Structure 1
């Protein structure tokens, strides 16, 4: 009976990274399973000039290679075949196409992380680190080609910033890349998310630097900008570190209570609601991803009534992160529980 109910509940969610974008979903499906990269090429070409959508399409198309032929480790060499994925073949066919090089660079990063795994660094084996490093180095080389082919596009600079986080690059190199990125697009959403990650404690930063960056950006971002969600992302990172590393004996509920009782963290949630969610600016490319972070923050701090309209906007499109940070491996259960509480709070209001 319980398993039947759970199957019915999970049918009400959708974890596809393309979410409700029918064009992107079809492009990923055709490229990965239909051996036709034409829809992907057309979809990505249409994003030129729309920086946030371009960053999203590059990321999601690249992630479609994970788990496929191009991410399997050869048992003889101990390496991933970097010629087998559709992104590898596209880039080889069109070496002067910046779109192809961007997606391949991102694809190599996705495959590197598949080799490494998402656990804490102490659990990664030496051979995993070696292949992780090799794939990231190759991704860096491919991304440099994309930079030369499209010098005014901020997308490869955001990818370079992500690579620098993964490779623990020197701070001065990170800051130089950051300056180049925001020169091309001062409010580049994905670039700001990568810079926030760079400041996270789990990547050698600190809570102070992370929150300082997030709040300084939110303080100057225009109304309706998704960058108002950055401090909420920072709080989610803080909560993860606290429950996994700083105070591993603490329950998720105890961390949530600390989040709830901190007036500054609550102010960050209020700001995201007022300056982003309730603004009439309309959807941006990664709207659903940012909604999931906002709903997560509200749910973890017991603000179920505030979370109800956010969940309504999310619909069925749940993201693994940050919901898996609540203790559930995939995040499905945490999302469903939180959504149920929010709906109950809304019905009582």
Structure 2
């Protein structure tokens, strides 16, 4: 196979609206303060759709919190408004904290984070009390539980409440997986066990297998030096990743729902790191030039550079 040069391929596209055009529309109507259009769209989504995606898009719109408070003043029991405002408070809090390691975050920054998370908690508690099946509100409560350090049991309780209505909710599973990692007080046994539970519990072709790749990526990132190479050389790790990919990202009926770009990206990254360029190349071909921030930002501060490096190597060899 001829070598593939970086210049012959398009740069990675990290714009979420490129994969899901509705994201661009949601931003526009939010900027126009058109709550009726937002409500009609989200309420009209098919049963089982991950509403966390739409709520997440809205939570990133600057200033949306100001007019959402007016919406709630007029309709205090509006579950969607409670959820979006709660998600926005979470976003503001994490922006104050930044993504820096904890030891580099000031007491004032942590104080700002916790203040906004507590505000979010009150909004989201009300939302889930009004509608216990509302997936996006429970998903945000998984994030607040993590940020407020409410413990493994409370995080699992919240996930179980959501899973009773949405048993294969990829967004919520991804948030609980993070909490189960050692960096948030969990263990590798718990993280890998939960990821496998999600894989086997979902239908073949579902995105949930991506959690296995994410768990192994997190484990690899926590190691240093030769330990990283040795970790990915383990037969058991390779077997788990191949099985998960075959049931998800590389399955002929892979479901391209919200989050599919991230799933393909995690598999592309871990297969690249372990030298399985054939499988990595298959994932990159499925992506085209689409990309999500993670996992690439975990491999290099320049996420685009990480993507290009691994993509070009995989396609030239696999």
Q: Which TM-score applies when normalising by structure 2?
A: 0.89
Is 2:6 the counterpart of 1:25? no
- Whether the aligned pair in 1 keeps the contact of 2:152 and 2:185 (CA below 8 Å) is no
CA displacement, residues 245-275 of structure 1 (integer Å, 9 cap, x when unaligned):
xx3xx2xxx4652243111211122012211
2:47 alignment partner, one of 35, 46, 49: 49
1:329–1:10 Cα change, 3 Å: farther
Match of 2:239 in 1: 267
How far the C-alpha of 1:89 sits from its partner, in A, is 4.8
Alignment of 1:61-72 (within 5 A): 61-62=58-59, 64-65=60-61, 68-69=62-63
What SS is found at the alignment partner of 2:248? helix
How far the C-alpha of 1:285 sits from its partner, in A, is 2.1
- Whether the aligned pair in 2 keeps the contact of 1:24 and 1:40 (CA below 8 Å) is no
Higher RCO, 1 vs 2 (CA within 8 Å, ≥6 residues apart): 2
Unmatched tracts of structure 2, length 5 or more: none
What SS is found at the alignment partner of 1:152? coil
Is 2:141 the counterpart of 1:160? yes
Number of positions where the alignment pairs a residue of Structure 1 with one of Structure 2: 313
How far the C-alpha of 1:143 sits from its partner, in A, is 0.8
Once residues 259 and 60 of structure 1 are traced to their aligned partners in structure 2, the CA distance between those partners, rounded to angstroms, is 36
Match of 1:80 in 2: none
Once residues 153 and 314 of structure 2 are traced to their aligned partners in structure 1, the CA distance between those partners, rounded to angstroms, is 44
Is 2:288 the counterpart of 1:289? no
Match of 1:58 in 2: 55
1:35–1:182 Cα change, 3 Å: closer
Match of 2:128 in 1: 147
Match of 1:201 in 2: 182
Unmatched tracts of structure 1, length 5 or more: 71-82
Match of 1:77 in 2: none
What SS is found at the alignment partner of 1:317? coil
1:174–1:260 Cα change, 3 Å: closer
How far the C-alpha of 1:206 sits from its partner, in A, is 1.5
1:258–1:43 Cα change, 3 Å: farther
What SS is found at the alignment partner of 1:184? coil
1:173–1:189 Cα change, 3 Å: same
1:318 alignment partner, one of 291, 298, 301: 291
CA RMSD in angstroms comes to: 2.5
Match of 1:76 in 2: none
How far the C-alpha of 1:94 sits from its partner, in A, is 4.0
CA displacement, residues 26-77 of structure 1 (integer Å, 9 cap, x when unaligned):
2114424x5545553333222262342x121112221x23xx357xxxxxxx
1:44–1:92 Cα change, 3 Å: farther
- Whether the aligned pair in 1 keeps the contact of 2:89 and 2:119 (CA below 8 Å) is yes
What SS is found at the alignment partner of 1:193? helix
